[in-house]
Amino acid sequence: MNRQTPRFPLILLCAAALGVAAPVRAAELETAPVERAPVEVLHVAEGVVEAVSSATIAAQVQGRIIDVKADAGDRVRAGQVLMRIDASEANQAVAGAAASVAQAQATYINAQAEWQRNVALREKGFVSQAVVDQAVATMKAAQAGLKAAQAGRGQAVTVRDFTTIVAPLAGVVAERHAEAGEMAQPGRPLLTVYDPAQLRVVAQLPQSVAQGVSNAPLAADIILTGTDGRVRAAQVMLVPSADPRTHTMEVRALLPATVSGVVPGQFARLLLQLGATPRLTVPGAAVLRRGEVTAVYVQTDAGFRLRQIRPGEVLPDGRIEILAGLNAGDRVALDPVRASLLRHQNASQQ
Of 33-37, 171-175, 214-218, 337-341, minimum mean pLDDT range: 214-218
Show Cβ contacts of residue 36 under 8 Å, excluding neighbours closer than 6 positions: 278, 279, 280, 281, 328
For residue 239, give the CATH number of its domain.
2.40.30.170
Residues 91 and 200 in one domain: no
What would the pLDDT profile of 268-278 be if each residue is shown by its tens digit? 999 888 777 78
Query: Is 76 within the bounds of a domain?
Result: yes
Residues 78 and 132 in one domain: no
Show Cβ contacts of residue 139 under 8 Å, excluding neighbours closer than 6 positions: 108, 111, 112, 114, 115
Helices 129-161 + 88-124 axis angle, to 10 = 160
Instruction: Count how many domains the chain has.
Output: 4
Residues 180 and 156 in one domain: no
What would the pLDDT profile of 2-39 be if each residue is shown by its tens digit? 444 443 333 333 333 334 445 555 556 778 888 888 77
Q: Measuring CA to CA, which residue among 167, 15, 188 is closest to residue 76?
A: 167
Cα–Cα distance measured from residue 202 to residue 42, given in angstroms and rounded to the nearest whole number: 17
Q: Which amino acid is at 240?
A: P
Query: Is 65 within the bounds of a domain?
Result: yes
Residues 189 and 58 in one domain: yes
Question: DSSP assignment of 260-315, as one string?
Answer: -S--TT-EEEEEEEEEEEEEEEEEGGG-EEETTEEEEEEEETTEEEEEE-EEEEEP
What would the pLDDT profile of 176-219 be if each residue is shown by its tens digit? 999 999 999 999 999 999 999 999 999 998 887 877 676 667 88
Threshold 0.85, pTM exceeds: no
Q: Which amino acid is at 274?
A: L
Cα–Cα distance measured from residue 240 to residue 210, given in angstroms and rounded to the nearest whole number: 10
Cα–Cα distance measured from residue 282 to residue 324, given in angstroms and rounded to the nearest whole number: 12
Q: Which of 162, 182, 211 is the last residue of a domain?
A: 162
Q: Measuring CA to CA, which residue among 312, 311, 308, 276 is closest to residue 295?
A: 308
Q: How confident is the model at residue 10, as a pLDDT?
A: 32
For residue 110, give the CATH number of its domain.
1.10.287
Of 91-100, 135-144, 255-264, 294-303, minimum mean pLDDT range: 294-303
Domain range for 75? 53-84+172-195
Cα–Cα distance measured from residue 155 to residue 93, given in angstroms and rounded to the nearest whole number: 9
Query: Is 7 within the bounds of a domain?
Result: no
Q: Which amino acid is at 163?
A: T
Residues 200 and 263 in one domain: yes
Q: Measuring CA to CA, which residue among 262, 212, 256 is closest to residue 238?
A: 212
Q: How confident is the model at residue 293, as a pLDDT?
A: 84
Residues 259 and 304 in one domain: no
Do the bridges between strand 303-308 and strand 199-206 make them parallel or antiparallel, or are there none, so unpaired?
A: unpaired
Residues 67 and 184 in one domain: yes
Residues 200 and 185 in one domain: no
Query: Is 19 within the bounds of a domain?
Result: no
Query: Is 13 within the bounds of a domain?
Result: no
Percent pLDDT > 90 in the chain is 48
Q: Element (H or E) spanning 235, and its range?
A: strand 235-243
Cα–Cα distances in angstroms (integers) from residue 145 to residues 68, 82, 93, in the given order: 40, 38, 18
Residues 141 and 178 in one domain: no
